[in-house]
Amino acid sequence: MSAAAPGLYLSSTGSYPRIGDSPELQVLRKTIAALDRGERTTADLLDAEHEMTRRAIADQMKAGLDVITDGLVRWYDPISHLAGKLENVKIRGLLRFFDTNCYFRQPVLTGKPVRRGPLVVNEYSFARNALGHLPTPKGKAGKLSIKPVLTGPYTLAKFSQAEHSGNGEPESFASLETRAMAYAEALAAEIGALAEYGAELIQVDEPAAVKFSEDWTIFENSLAPLIAARDKAREAGRKVEIALYFYFHDCTSLYEKLVKLPADIIGLDCTYNPKLADLIASAGSPKALGLGLVDARNTRLEDPEVLAWQIERMLSKIDGGRAYLGPSSGLEYLPRDRAFAKLELLNRVREALLGPKGSVK
Amino acid sequence: MSREKLKSLGLKLPLFPTTSVGSFPKPDYLAKARTEFSKGKITADQLRELERKATKFWIKTQEKLGVDVLVDGEMYRGDMVAYFAERLPGFTEGGLVRSYGNRYYHKPIITGEVEWPGPVTVDWWKYAQSLTKKPVKGMLTGAYTIMDWSFNEHYADRRATAMALAGLIRKEVEALIAAGCKIIQIDEPALSVRPEELPIAIEAMEATTKDLSAYFITHACYGAFEQIYPGMLELAVDNFDLEMSNNDLGLLEVFRGQPFTKDISFGVVDVHTHTMEEEDAVRRRVEQALTILSKDQIWVDPDCGLKTRTVDEAIEKLRLCVAAAEAFRH
């Protein structure tokens, strides 16, 4: 990196399309459909998930990213994939996920959600191994990292409900706060396990916190167990950071509060309000930022020169000059070819900022 | 309350008119034919013949059940946005994106100026109307929803996109009216997705229907209507077709605070369950509607399109709607 951008990393923001238009990219869809018909086994499903995970990782490497995810290709949706693995949680009907045209299955709590086993540790472990088996792009040796992703406790709680007992008794988990704290306890255990497995950066998504800012105190309180788990891992000698990501809503009015949260990195969707980039450039940030400047919800490709100019203004105001340029959210809302083009765009932005050979422009 | 408007259009409808939201399940022979067509095994003419056969079946079925305002059942459509995007210059078919679980669809991309190529739905409406003396609704997707459910690489922003689309949907509305259509439904299921954009949806609907002589209905579903109510009543339509049963009539409480000032097509059966409601339960939903709304305002229909039900289930759900409406006419 040049002196102009000592800490600009290219990063995934989570999901990647699990399907494409060519037959070999439809293996997961076809396997799930065949499994439903009783023509395939769960072992076949696992193979298909592995295959599409490898492809997601390969695409991110090919595009030149520094921080990669497994593409979340095994996730049914961002809510039920995690909540469904907890004890005392049933998964019910479909609801719209924010302003997307995608739907998630709603968790219903029959008691306290309890973690009895790994949520994404196995997925993280597979992705890390897969990364090790793929050819490392030139100049990236030792510089690539895999980032596990979790949906945060507040967002999980906001989209869950407590089961009605039918006897008029108040439900223990009827309150949002109780649900959020219970999920936080489960996720804190997962963060501890991920740190133990070597995860150095863990992304926690909290899109609901900016959409429903009236619950700010509940959201903020629910972070405490996660931060405590991170600190405990650090005390045990683990090097781990938590990145909190916010998207699907304008973050501008909450910016001052967001950058004071006790996470190490704050990831922001900059596409809902162009003034957010101006605000970051003027107010600065006391901690590293995830800059969601590339629109993950529309196929139009941004001008790399314009984005480079925006980043240049912001970087000097970000503490340590460390920032993670990425899509505004996960990329699964785009067709695969367009999602890959967005990843390639990230590299073009960095080139526009640094010059093609890393020289300062 | 638009009974005067209906009268002025020459439409004599009973109290609690019954209708349905738009789509019906495709009979097995048609579903199979669509697959064969996509594989090039049958011609477009052969497919169209079967679509006409299925349309006739549903028109006759609705007549037999005693439905008052009919729909063609959309035997020739797949996705409600893609159907128009595939026919309008300015759109390109995008790659597959996920809807949920293992369901994917081709999300359209607006890559150029959108244009109206001439009537898209009029021939189907004429055919359906020729099969019955009862009024058949013209069925369109609204500009705001087409905008929200498409990628945009051409227009400057979401408002500009919605307004460009409104201009061409208006031409389709005019063509339907010229063909004799008097009741036109313009679906806006994305209406409540971004509450802050309600003014755009209102502006686009105004541009679509202003000063045109028809009774306009809009259908919306799966939304946080409490966030856009009562502002949504400014939409330039006469009737809101809303899913009421899926949320246990929770919307009625929202209406209690601020009066609902338009007609309503009140969803009395849930379309997302194989379970059949009891006749009494459906009647009670109408009863509850009457605690907030006047009898002149209420139309009776299912929550949403019935295309995800089996043919038999769809027929039974429609029968329940008709039975409930008739119970209150006397």
B239-297: per-residue pLDDT in tens?
Answer: 999 999 877 788 899 999 899 999 999 999 989 888 899 999 999 999 999 999 999 99
Name residues whose C-beta falls within 8 Å of residue B122's C-beta, 6 or more positions apart in sequence. Answer: B172, B175, B176, B179
Q: How many helices (H) and strands (E) does chain A have?
A: 12, 12
Across the beta sheet with A7-10, the strand order is A7-10, A322-327, A288-294, A265-269, A241-246, A201-205, A149-151
Angle between helix axes B44-65 and B28-38 (nearest 10 degrees) is 160
Joined together, the tokens standing for residue B270 give 């849930």
* A83 close to A156: Cβ distance less than 8 angstroms: yes
* Lookup result for tokens 């006749």: B279
**In the predicted model, what is the mean pLDDT of residues B307-321?**
95
- Of B303, B195, B204, nearest to A98 by C-alpha is B195
Task: Specify the pairing of strand B263-269 against strand B298-302.
Answer: parallel
Q: Which residue of B has its CA nearest to A100?
A: B193
Which of B80, B92, B100 is the best mutation test for A, with the most CBs of A within 10 A?
Answer: B100
- H helical segments located in chain A: 27-36, 42-62, 80-83, 121-133, 153-158, 176-196, 207-211, 216-235, 255-258, 275-283, 304-315, 336-354
Would you say residue B130 has pLDDT above 80? yes
β-bridge pairing B215-220 and B151-152: unpaired
Q: Specify the pairing of strand A87-96 against strand A103-114.
A: antiparallel
pLDDT at A320: 80
Which are the contacts of A333, defined by CB distance < 8 A and separation ≥ 6? Answer: A100, A102, A296, A297, B97
How confident is the model over B27-64, as pLDDT tens digits? 999 999 999 999 999 999 999 999 999 999 999 999 99
pLDDT for position A328 = 98
Is there a contact between A101 and B99 if contact means CB atoms under 8 Å apart?
yes
CB contact under 8 A, A33 and B102: yes
CA distance A280 to A311: 10
CB pairs < 8 Å spanning A and B:
67
Q: Which amino acid is at A23?
A: P
Q: Under an 8 Å CB criterion, which residues of A touch B?
A: 17-21, 29, 32-33, 36, 76-77, 93-96, 99, 101-105, 298-300, 332-338
Distance CA A22, CA A16 (A): 16
Structure tokens at A156: 């999980």
Query: Are A49 and A18 in contact, with CB atoms under 8 Å apart?
Result: no
Whether the per-residue pLDDT at B152 is higher than 60: the answer is yes
Torsion of the alpha carbons at B91, B95, B99 and B105, rounded to the nearest 10:
70
The residue in chain A having the minimum alpha-carbon distance to the alpha carbon of residue B95 is A335
CB atoms B272 and A93 under 8 Å: yes
Token representation of residue B262: 């338009």
pLDDT band, very low/low/confident/very high, at B18 (cuts 50, 70, 90): very high
Tell me how close the Cα of B309 comes to any Cα of chain A, in angstroms: 16
Separation CA A19–CA A56 (nearest Å): 10
Is the Cβ pair A338, B95 closer than 8 Å?
A: yes
Identify the pLDDT of residue A6. Answer: 60
Q: How far apart are CA A96 and CA A103, in angstroms?
A: 4
Give A102's contacts in chain B (Cβ within 8 Å). 98-100
Alpha-carbon distance of B113 to A310, in angstroms, equals 29
Nearest CA in chain A to B224: A96
Chain A residues inside the 8 Å CB shell of B304: none
* A83-87, A173-177, B16-20, B317-321: range with lowest mean pLDDT: A173-177
CB contact under 8 A, B100 and A300: no
Burial of B133 (0-12, 13-18, 19+ CB in 10 A): exposed
Helices (H) and strands (E) in chain B, counts: 11, 9
Looking up tokens 């973050």 gives A251
Residue B220 pairs in a beta bridge with: B242
pLDDT of residue A356: 57
Nearest to A292, CA basis, from A268, A323, A261: A268
d(CA B151, CA B92): 10
* DSSP-derived pairing of the beta strands B91-100 and A322-327: unpaired
Q: What is the mean pLDDT of each run of 10 residues along chain A (361 residues)?
A: 66 97 95 94 97 97 96 97 96 88 91 96 96 81 89 97 65 88 98 97 98 97 98 97 97 97 98 96 96 98 96 92 96 98 97 68 43
Alpha-carbon span A350 to A106, nearest angstrom: 39
- Quick one: pLDDT at residue A147? 97
- Residue whose C-alpha is closest to residue B270's, from B284, B239, B249: B249
The interface predicted TM-score of the complex, written ipTM, equals 0.90
- Give the percent of chain B with pLDDT over 90: 88
Describe the strand order of the beta sheet including B91-100 as a list of residue ranges.
Answer: B91-100, B103-110, B151-152
Q: Give residues with Cβ within 8 angstroms of B159, minimum separation 6.
A: B200, B203
Rounded percentage of chain B residues whose pLDDT exceeds 70: 100
Please tell me the predicted confidence (pLDDT) of residue B226. Answer: 87
- The answer, yes or no, to whether residue B163 has pLDDT greater than 60, is yes
Q: Are strands B103-110 and B91-100 parallel, antiparallel or unpaired?
A: antiparallel
What is residue A129's three-state secondary structure? helix
Best residue of A96, A98, A158 to probe chain B, by most B CBs closer than 10 Å: A96
Rounded to whole angstroms, how far apart are CA atoms A120 and A132?
Answer: 18
Query: Which residues make Cβ contacts (< 8 Å) with residue B51, sequence separation at least 6?
Result: B30, B75, B76
Instruction: Name every chain B residue with its beta carbon within 8 A of the beta carbon of A99.
Output: 148, 193-194
Distance CA A85, CA A150 (A): 13
Q: What per-residue confidence (pLDDT) applies to A166?
A: 54
Q: Please answer yes or no on whether B98 and A332 come within 8 Å at the CB atom.
A: yes
For testing contact with chain B, the best of A22, A99, A101, A301 (most B CBs within 10 A): A101
A320 Ramachandran zone, left/alpha/beta (phi>0; psi -120 to 50): left
Contacts of B96 (CB under 8 A, 6+ apart): A17, A19, A20, A21, A335, A336, B104, B105, B106
User: What DSSP line would sit under A210-253, residue for residue?
Assistant: HHTGGGHHHHHHHHHHHHHHHHHHHHTT---EEEEEE-SS--GG
Whether residue B1 is predicted with pLDDT greater than 70 in this model: the reply is no
Global confidence as pTM? 0.91
Tokens of B183: 């009741």
- According to DSSP, residue B195 is labeled G
